Protein backbone atom coordinates (compact mmCIF):
# COMPACT_ATOMS: atom_id res chain seq x y z
CA UNK A 1 0.00 0.00 0.00
CA UNK A 2 1.11 3.57 -0.76
CA UNK A 3 -0.40 6.95 0.11
CA UNK A 4 -1.76 7.20 -3.43
CA UNK A 5 -4.28 4.47 -2.50
CA UNK A 6 -6.12 6.94 -0.23
CA UNK A 7 -6.99 9.29 -3.13
CA UNK A 8 -6.08 12.39 -1.16
CA UNK A 9 -6.69 15.87 -2.54
CA UNK A 10 -4.02 16.67 -5.11
CA UNK A 11 -2.50 19.57 -3.19
CA UNK A 12 -2.30 17.53 0.01
CA UNK A 13 -0.73 14.63 -1.86
CA UNK A 14 1.83 17.00 -3.36
CA UNK A 15 2.79 18.07 0.17
CA UNK A 16 3.20 14.42 1.17
CA UNK A 17 5.48 13.77 -1.78
CA UNK A 18 7.58 16.84 -1.07
CA UNK A 19 8.17 15.57 2.47
CA UNK A 20 9.25 12.17 1.16
CA UNK A 21 6.33 10.14 2.53
CA UNK A 22 5.58 7.14 0.33
CA UNK A 23 4.29 4.24 2.42
CA UNK A 24 1.85 4.48 5.35
CA UNK A 25 2.70 2.99 8.73
CA UNK A 26 0.41 0.25 10.11
CA UNK A 27 -1.59 2.71 12.25
CA UNK A 28 -2.03 4.99 9.22
CA UNK A 29 -3.05 2.13 6.95
CA UNK A 30 -5.77 1.04 9.38
CA UNK A 31 -7.13 4.34 10.63
CA UNK A 32 -7.16 6.58 7.54
CA UNK A 33 -9.86 4.57 5.69
CA UNK A 34 -12.03 4.56 8.84
CA UNK A 35 -11.76 8.32 9.26
CA UNK A 36 -12.44 8.85 5.55
CA UNK A 37 -15.73 6.96 6.04
CA UNK A 38 -16.66 9.55 8.71
CA UNK A 39 -16.74 6.98 11.49
CA UNK A 40 -15.79 7.77 15.08
CA UNK A 41 -12.56 6.08 16.08
CA UNK A 42 -10.72 4.95 19.18
CA UNK A 43 -7.12 4.01 18.38
CA UNK A 44 -4.41 2.64 20.62
CA UNK A 45 -0.85 2.81 19.37
CA UNK A 46 2.54 3.21 20.99
CA UNK A 47 4.64 6.30 20.47
CA UNK A 48 6.63 6.59 17.27
CA UNK A 49 4.13 4.75 15.06
CA UNK A 50 3.00 7.75 13.00
CA UNK A 51 -0.33 8.29 14.73
CA UNK A 52 -0.31 12.08 14.27
CA UNK A 53 -0.38 11.83 10.48
CA UNK A 54 -2.96 9.04 10.74
CA UNK A 55 -5.58 11.59 11.79
CA UNK A 56 -4.13 14.77 10.26
CA UNK A 57 -4.11 13.45 6.71
CA UNK A 58 -7.79 12.39 6.43
CA UNK A 59 -8.96 15.47 8.36
CA UNK A 60 -6.94 17.80 6.13
CA UNK A 61 -8.17 15.94 3.05
CA UNK A 62 -11.78 16.52 4.14
CA UNK A 63 -11.09 20.23 4.77
CA UNK A 64 -9.56 20.57 1.29
CA UNK A 65 -12.80 19.25 -0.21
CA UNK A 66 -15.14 21.57 1.74
CA UNK A 67 -17.03 24.10 -0.37
CA UNK A 68 -17.65 26.37 2.61
CA UNK A 69 -15.32 26.14 5.58
CA UNK A 70 -16.62 27.04 9.05
CA UNK A 71 -14.78 29.43 11.36
CA UNK A 72 -12.96 26.42 12.87
CA UNK A 73 -13.11 23.09 11.04
CA UNK A 74 -11.09 20.83 13.35
CA UNK A 75 -10.06 20.90 17.01
CA UNK A 76 -7.18 18.77 18.30
CA UNK A 77 -6.69 18.55 22.07
CA UNK A 78 -3.23 17.63 23.39
CA UNK A 79 -1.90 17.32 26.95
CA UNK A 80 1.23 19.51 26.67
CA UNK A 81 2.38 22.63 24.87
CA UNK A 82 5.29 20.66 23.39
CA UNK A 83 2.95 18.17 21.74
CA UNK A 84 0.61 20.95 20.56
CA UNK A 85 3.55 22.72 18.93
CA UNK A 86 4.77 19.50 17.37
CA UNK A 87 1.35 18.76 15.84
CA UNK A 88 1.10 22.33 14.54
CA UNK A 89 4.51 21.99 12.87
CA UNK A 90 3.38 18.80 11.16
CA UNK A 91 0.21 20.52 9.93
CA UNK A 92 2.33 23.34 8.47
CA UNK A 93 4.49 20.86 6.57
CA UNK A 94 1.60 18.84 5.16
CA UNK A 95 -0.49 21.94 4.36
CA UNK A 96 2.19 23.73 2.35
CA UNK A 97 0.31 23.45 -0.97
CA UNK A 98 -3.24 23.42 0.42
CA UNK A 99 -3.78 26.80 2.01
CA UNK A 100 -5.02 25.15 5.23
CA UNK A 101 -4.35 27.32 8.29
CA UNK A 102 -3.64 26.24 11.86
CA UNK A 103 -2.66 27.62 15.25
CA UNK A 104 -1.33 26.06 18.46
CA UNK A 105 -3.10 27.30 21.59
CA UNK A 106 -1.16 26.81 24.83
CA UNK A 107 -0.25 28.64 28.01
CA UNK A 108 3.03 29.93 29.31
CA UNK A 109 3.62 32.62 26.70
CA UNK A 110 3.47 36.40 26.86
CA UNK A 111 0.57 38.78 26.27
CA UNK A 112 1.42 39.11 22.59
CA UNK A 113 1.09 35.36 22.09
CA UNK A 114 -2.25 35.32 23.88
CA UNK A 115 -3.57 38.14 21.67
CA UNK A 116 -2.42 36.30 18.52
CA UNK A 117 -4.29 33.22 19.67
CA UNK A 118 -7.35 35.29 20.46
CA UNK A 119 -7.44 36.92 17.01
CA UNK A 120 -7.03 33.60 15.22
CA UNK A 121 -9.88 32.04 17.17
CA UNK A 122 -12.10 35.05 16.54
CA UNK A 123 -11.33 35.56 12.85
CA UNK A 124 -11.17 31.88 11.87
CA UNK A 125 -8.58 29.15 11.39
CA UNK A 126 -8.99 25.70 9.83
CA UNK A 127 -7.30 23.63 12.54
CA UNK A 128 -6.87 24.52 16.20
CA UNK A 129 -4.41 22.47 18.27
CA UNK A 130 -4.87 23.28 21.94
CA UNK A 131 -4.06 22.29 25.48
CA UNK A 132 -7.33 22.07 27.45
CA UNK A 133 -6.48 24.66 30.10
CA UNK A 134 -5.57 27.47 27.70
CA UNK A 135 -8.55 26.76 25.44
CA UNK A 136 -10.85 26.99 28.46
CA UNK A 137 -9.41 30.45 29.16
CA UNK A 138 -10.31 31.58 25.64
CA UNK A 139 -13.76 30.01 25.89
CA UNK A 140 -14.35 31.91 29.13
CA UNK A 141 -13.52 35.18 27.35
CA UNK A 142 -16.50 34.62 25.07
CA UNK A 143 -14.70 34.91 21.73
CA UNK A 144 -14.51 31.21 20.81
CA UNK A 145 -17.28 29.47 18.88
CA UNK A 146 -16.83 25.72 18.63
CA UNK A 147 -20.35 24.80 17.54
CA UNK A 148 -19.42 24.43 13.85
CA UNK A 149 -16.46 22.11 14.36
CA UNK A 150 -16.60 19.04 12.13
CA UNK A 151 -13.67 17.07 13.56
CA UNK A 152 -12.60 16.59 17.18
CA UNK A 153 -9.37 14.74 18.00
CA UNK A 154 -8.12 13.83 21.48
CA UNK A 155 -4.43 12.99 21.20
CA UNK A 156 -2.74 11.14 24.08
CA UNK A 157 -6.06 10.91 25.88
CA UNK A 158 -4.57 8.72 28.62
CA UNK A 159 -2.03 11.38 29.52
CA UNK A 160 -4.69 14.12 29.54
CA UNK A 161 -6.73 12.14 32.05
CA UNK A 162 -3.63 11.46 34.16
CA UNK A 163 -2.95 15.21 34.21
CA UNK A 164 -6.44 15.98 35.52
CA UNK A 165 -7.97 17.46 32.35
CA UNK A 166 -11.17 15.38 32.37
CA UNK A 167 -13.45 18.22 33.53
CA UNK A 168 -11.86 20.68 31.08
CA UNK A 169 -12.30 18.22 28.22
CA UNK A 170 -15.95 17.63 29.11
CA UNK A 171 -16.55 21.38 29.18
CA UNK A 172 -14.89 21.83 25.79
CA UNK A 173 -16.74 18.91 24.23
CA UNK A 174 -19.99 20.43 25.50
CA UNK A 175 -19.32 23.43 23.22
CA UNK A 176 -18.69 21.31 20.10
CA UNK A 177 -21.40 20.30 17.64
CA UNK A 178 -22.97 16.91 18.34
CA UNK A 179 -22.68 16.23 14.59
CA UNK A 180 -18.91 16.16 14.83
CA UNK A 181 -16.67 13.22 14.00
CA UNK A 182 -14.62 12.27 17.08
CA UNK A 183 -11.28 10.48 17.17
CA UNK A 184 -9.54 9.41 20.37
CA UNK A 185 -5.90 8.32 20.30
CA UNK A 186 -4.18 6.81 23.31
CA UNK A 187 -0.92 4.99 23.94
CA UNK A 188 -2.55 2.85 26.63
CA UNK A 189 -6.09 1.63 27.03
CA UNK A 190 -6.92 1.27 30.75
CA UNK A 191 -10.58 0.90 31.80
CA UNK A 192 -10.91 4.62 32.57
CA UNK A 193 -10.13 5.48 28.95
CA UNK A 194 -12.73 3.04 27.64
CA UNK A 195 -15.35 4.45 29.99
CA UNK A 196 -14.41 8.00 29.01
CA UNK A 197 -14.56 7.14 25.31
CA UNK A 198 -18.14 5.90 25.64
CA UNK A 199 -19.23 9.37 26.75
CA UNK A 200 -17.65 11.06 23.72
CA UNK A 201 -17.83 8.71 20.75
CA UNK A 202 -20.73 7.24 18.79
CA UNK A 203 -20.38 3.55 17.88
CA UNK A 204 -16.65 3.93 17.27
CA UNK A 205 -14.43 1.68 15.24
CA UNK A 206 -11.42 0.42 17.21
CA UNK A 207 -7.82 -0.02 16.13
CA UNK A 208 -5.10 -1.57 18.26
CA UNK A 209 -1.48 -1.44 17.10
CA UNK A 210 1.30 -3.28 18.98
CA UNK A 211 0.41 -2.16 22.47
CA UNK A 212 3.29 -2.08 24.94
CA UNK A 213 5.85 -3.37 22.47
CA UNK A 214 8.97 -1.35 21.69
CA UNK A 215 9.91 -0.78 18.07
CA UNK A 216 11.90 -3.63 16.58
CA UNK A 217 14.83 -1.34 15.80
CA UNK A 218 15.59 -0.56 19.45
CA UNK A 219 18.55 -2.38 21.01
CA UNK A 220 17.70 -2.64 24.71
CA UNK A 221 20.34 -3.10 27.39
CA UNK A 222 20.50 -2.86 31.17
CA UNK A 223 23.25 -2.28 33.70
CA UNK A 224 22.71 -3.67 37.21
CA UNK A 225 24.26 -0.92 39.19
CA UNK A 226 24.54 0.90 42.50
CA UNK A 227 23.35 4.49 42.81
CA UNK A 228 26.89 5.74 43.31
CA UNK A 229 27.95 4.12 40.03
CA UNK A 230 25.27 5.71 37.84
CA UNK A 231 26.84 9.07 37.12
CA UNK A 232 30.36 7.70 36.44
CA UNK A 233 28.87 5.16 34.03
CA UNK A 234 26.78 7.82 32.31
CA UNK A 235 29.89 9.96 31.84
CA UNK A 236 31.76 7.04 30.26
CA UNK A 237 28.88 6.23 27.91
CA UNK A 238 28.56 9.81 26.71
CA UNK A 239 32.28 10.43 26.32
CA UNK A 240 33.31 7.17 24.69
CA UNK A 241 30.21 6.22 22.69
CA UNK A 242 29.64 7.18 19.06
CA UNK A 243 26.25 8.77 19.69
CA UNK A 244 25.20 12.05 18.08
CA UNK A 245 21.78 12.59 19.67
CA UNK A 246 20.92 11.47 23.23
CA UNK A 247 18.09 11.85 25.74
CA UNK A 248 18.74 11.00 29.40
CA UNK A 249 15.63 10.42 31.53
CA UNK A 250 15.73 10.95 35.28
CA UNK A 251 12.97 10.63 37.85
CA UNK A 252 12.94 14.12 39.35
CA UNK A 253 13.51 17.72 38.33
CA UNK A 254 16.24 18.12 40.96
CA UNK A 255 18.17 15.15 39.57
CA UNK A 256 17.84 16.57 36.06
CA UNK A 257 19.36 19.87 37.20
CA UNK A 258 22.18 18.18 39.12
CA UNK A 259 23.09 15.87 36.24
CA UNK A 260 23.06 18.80 33.85
CA UNK A 261 25.55 20.72 36.00
CA UNK A 262 27.87 17.71 36.40
CA UNK A 263 27.97 16.94 32.69
CA UNK A 264 28.37 20.57 31.69
CA UNK A 265 31.35 20.82 34.06
CA UNK A 266 32.95 18.00 32.05
CA UNK A 267 32.67 20.10 28.90
CA UNK A 268 29.80 18.11 27.42
CA UNK A 269 27.23 19.90 25.27
CA UNK A 270 24.20 19.07 27.40
CA UNK A 271 21.06 20.91 28.45
CA UNK A 272 18.64 20.03 31.29
CA UNK A 273 14.95 20.39 30.38
CA UNK A 274 12.52 20.97 33.24
CA UNK A 275 9.44 22.91 34.33
CA UNK A 276 11.40 25.76 35.95
CA UNK A 277 12.43 26.99 32.50
CA UNK A 278 10.14 29.55 30.92
CA UNK A 279 8.30 28.80 27.70
CA UNK A 280 10.79 30.58 25.47
CA UNK A 281 13.72 28.70 26.96
CA UNK A 282 11.99 25.34 26.53
CA UNK A 283 11.10 26.03 22.91
CA UNK A 284 14.65 27.17 22.14
CA UNK A 285 16.16 24.03 23.72
CA UNK A 286 13.85 21.69 21.80
CA UNK A 287 14.55 23.50 18.53
CA UNK A 288 18.31 23.23 19.03
CA UNK A 289 17.97 19.53 19.85
CA UNK A 290 15.77 18.86 16.84
CA UNK A 291 18.22 20.71 14.56
CA UNK A 292 21.13 18.62 15.93
CA UNK A 293 22.79 21.70 17.43
CA UNK A 294 22.39 20.25 20.93
CA UNK A 295 23.50 16.59 21.24
CA UNK A 296 22.38 15.74 24.79
CA UNK A 297 19.07 16.50 26.48
CA UNK A 298 18.26 15.57 30.10
CA UNK A 299 14.68 15.56 31.34
CA UNK A 300 11.87 13.88 33.26
CA UNK A 301 8.99 11.95 31.71
CA UNK A 302 7.58 15.18 30.29
CA UNK A 303 10.03 14.51 27.45
CA UNK A 304 8.77 10.96 26.86
CA UNK A 305 5.74 12.39 25.09
CA UNK A 306 5.34 15.39 22.92
CA UNK A 307 8.78 15.41 21.32
CA UNK A 308 9.11 13.99 17.82
CA UNK A 309 12.72 13.93 16.69
CA UNK A 310 14.03 11.49 14.11
CA UNK A 311 17.60 10.27 14.54
CA UNK A 312 17.96 9.94 18.33
CA UNK A 313 20.74 7.39 18.75
CA UNK A 314 20.60 6.72 22.48
CA UNK A 315 18.09 6.79 25.31
CA UNK A 316 19.44 6.41 28.85
CA UNK A 317 17.06 5.66 31.71
CA UNK A 318 19.12 7.02 34.58
CA UNK A 319 16.25 5.85 36.78
CA UNK A 320 13.75 3.08 36.03
CA UNK A 321 10.35 4.69 35.36
CA UNK A 322 7.60 3.89 37.89
CA UNK A 323 5.13 2.69 35.23
CA UNK A 324 6.09 0.03 32.67
CA UNK A 325 4.16 1.93 29.99
CA UNK A 326 6.35 4.98 30.66
CA UNK A 327 9.37 2.85 29.79
CA UNK A 328 7.81 2.12 26.39
CA UNK A 329 7.23 5.82 25.82
CA UNK A 330 10.75 6.75 26.89
CA UNK A 331 12.59 4.31 24.67
CA UNK A 332 10.13 5.02 21.85
CA UNK A 333 11.93 8.33 21.35
CA UNK A 334 14.60 6.38 19.48
CA UNK A 335 14.27 4.06 16.45
CA UNK A 336 11.60 6.29 14.94
CA UNK A 337 10.69 6.37 11.25
CA UNK A 338 12.25 2.93 10.74
CA UNK A 339 15.59 4.05 12.17
CA UNK A 340 17.57 2.10 14.78
CA UNK A 341 18.64 3.16 18.23
CA UNK A 342 19.87 2.02 21.63
CA UNK A 343 18.06 2.20 24.97
CA UNK A 344 20.11 1.68 28.14
CA UNK A 345 18.60 1.42 31.62
CA UNK A 346 20.41 1.72 34.95
CA UNK A 347 18.75 -0.79 37.29
CA UNK A 348 19.62 -0.52 40.98
CA UNK A 349 18.68 -2.82 43.85
CA UNK A 350 15.42 -1.00 44.63
CA UNK A 351 14.27 -0.85 41.01
CA UNK A 352 14.97 -4.46 40.08
CA UNK A 353 11.39 -5.67 40.62
CA UNK A 354 10.09 -2.63 38.76
CA UNK A 355 12.28 -3.48 35.78
CA UNK A 356 11.21 -7.12 35.90
CA UNK A 357 7.63 -5.86 35.54
CA UNK A 358 8.70 -3.98 32.42
CA UNK A 359 10.24 -7.15 30.95
CA UNK A 360 7.05 -9.05 31.76
CA UNK A 361 4.95 -6.43 30.00
CA UNK A 362 7.15 -6.64 26.90
CA UNK A 363 7.32 -10.43 27.14
CA UNK A 364 11.02 -10.03 26.53
CA UNK A 365 14.14 -10.06 28.67
CA UNK A 366 16.63 -7.20 28.36
CA UNK A 367 20.30 -8.01 27.92
CA UNK A 368 22.48 -7.40 31.00
CA UNK A 369 25.75 -5.62 30.16
CA UNK A 370 28.72 -5.96 32.56
CA UNK A 371 29.96 -2.73 34.08
CA UNK A 372 33.14 -1.34 32.45
CA UNK A 373 36.42 -2.12 34.11
CA UNK A 374 37.15 0.29 36.94
CA UNK A 375 33.52 0.83 37.96
CA UNK A 376 33.34 -2.17 40.27
CA UNK A 377 30.65 -4.84 40.13
CA UNK A 378 26.90 -4.37 40.07
CA UNK A 379 24.40 -6.23 42.20
CA UNK A 380 23.20 -9.75 41.39
CA UNK A 381 19.45 -10.30 41.82
CA UNK A 382 18.49 -12.89 44.42
CA UNK A 383 16.71 -14.90 41.75
CA UNK A 384 20.06 -15.47 40.03
CA UNK A 385 22.39 -15.79 42.99
CA UNK A 386 20.21 -17.86 45.28
CA UNK A 387 21.49 -15.70 48.12
CA UNK A 388 19.62 -12.88 49.81
CA UNK A 389 21.63 -9.76 49.20
CA UNK A 390 21.80 -6.66 51.33
CA UNK A 391 21.03 -3.26 49.90
CA UNK A 392 24.10 -1.40 48.66
CA UNK A 393 25.68 0.96 51.18
CA UNK A 394 24.61 4.41 50.01
CA UNK A 395 27.45 6.03 51.97
CA UNK A 396 30.21 4.09 50.26
CA UNK A 397 32.63 6.51 48.64
CA UNK A 398 32.99 5.86 44.91
CA UNK A 399 35.79 7.17 42.76
CA UNK A 400 35.85 7.00 39.00
CA UNK A 401 39.04 5.25 37.90
CA UNK A 402 38.79 5.60 34.16
CA UNK A 403 41.62 6.97 32.03
CA UNK A 404 41.63 10.80 32.50
CA UNK A 405 42.58 11.35 28.86
CA UNK A 406 39.78 9.08 27.69
CA UNK A 407 37.31 10.88 29.96
CA UNK A 408 38.03 14.17 28.22
CA UNK A 409 37.50 12.83 24.71
CA UNK A 410 34.45 11.79 22.73
CA UNK A 411 31.80 13.04 20.34
CA UNK A 412 30.04 15.10 22.99
CA UNK A 413 32.87 17.43 23.94
CA UNK A 414 31.65 21.02 23.90
CA UNK A 415 34.29 21.78 21.28
CA UNK A 416 32.59 19.36 18.91
CA UNK A 417 29.10 20.90 19.07
CA UNK A 418 27.21 21.21 15.85
CA UNK A 419 26.92 24.78 14.70
Euclidean distance between CA atoms 121 and 139, whole angstroms:
10
What's the pLDDT score for residue 230?
A: 93
Is-contact 59 153, C-beta < 8 A? yes
Residue at a domain's end among 209, 229, 261: 209
My answer on whether 287 and 330 are in the same domain is yes
Residue-level pLDDT at 181: 97
- CATH code for the domain in which residue 102 is found: 3.40.50.300
In this prediction, residue 332 has a pLDDT band, given cuts at 50, 70 and 90, of confident
Has residue 395 got a pLDDT over 70? no
CA proximity to 149, closest of 100, 196, 114, 182: 182
Of 75, 45, 78, the closest CA to residue 59 belongs to 75
Average pLDDT, the chain: 83
Is residue 9 domain-shared with residue 153, that is, in the same domain?
yes
Domain that holds residue 186: 3-209
* 257/361 same-domain check: yes
Q: Judge if 233 and 204 occupy the same domain.
A: no
Domains of the chain: total: 2
pLDDT reading at 329 higher than 70: yes
Give the model's confidence band at 151: pLDDT under 50 very low, under 70 low, under 90 confident, else very high: very high
The pLDDT, as a whole number, for residue 305 is 58
**From its phi and psi, is residue 158 left (phi > 0), alpha (psi between -120 and 50) or beta?**
alpha
Please report, in angstroms and rounded to a whole number, the separation of the first and last CA atoms in the chain: 39
262 shares a domain with 195: no
| pTM flag (> 0.95) | no
**Whether residue 236 sits in one domain with residue 162:** no
pLDDT tens across 21-35, in order? Answer: 888 988 999 999 999
**Residue 225: predicted pLDDT:** 93
Q: Contacts for 64-70 with beta carbons within 8 Å, 24 or more apart?
A: 64/9, 64/11, 64/12, 64/98, 64/100, 65/9, 69/124, 69/126, 70/124, 70/148, 70/149, 70/150
The pLDDT, as a whole number, for residue 213 is 65
Whether residues 324 and 355 fall in one domain: yes
Same domain, 257 and 392: yes
Predicted pLDDT of residue 18 = 81
Q: Give 372-388 pLDDT, tens digit per residue.
A: 888 877 776 655 544 44
User: Torsions phi, psi of 284, nearest 5?
Assistant: -65, -40
* pLDDT of 408 over the 60 cut: no
**pLDDT, position 405:** 39
pLDDT score, position 141: 85
Angle between helices 132-141 and 166-173 (to 10 degrees): 50
Same domain, 166 and 69: yes
Domain end residue (candidates: 186, 209, 232): 209
Amino acid sequence: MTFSDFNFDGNLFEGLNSMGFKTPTPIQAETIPIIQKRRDLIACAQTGTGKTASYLLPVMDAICRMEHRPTISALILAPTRELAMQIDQQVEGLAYFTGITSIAIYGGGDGIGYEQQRRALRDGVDIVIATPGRLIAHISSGIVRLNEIKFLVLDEADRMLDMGFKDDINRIVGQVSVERQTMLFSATMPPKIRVFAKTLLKHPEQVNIAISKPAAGIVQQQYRIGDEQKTPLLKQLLQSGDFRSVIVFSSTKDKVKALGRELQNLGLAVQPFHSDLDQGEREEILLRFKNKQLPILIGTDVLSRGIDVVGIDLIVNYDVPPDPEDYIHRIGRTARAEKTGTAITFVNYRDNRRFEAIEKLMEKGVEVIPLPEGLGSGFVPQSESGVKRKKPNKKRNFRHKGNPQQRNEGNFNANNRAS
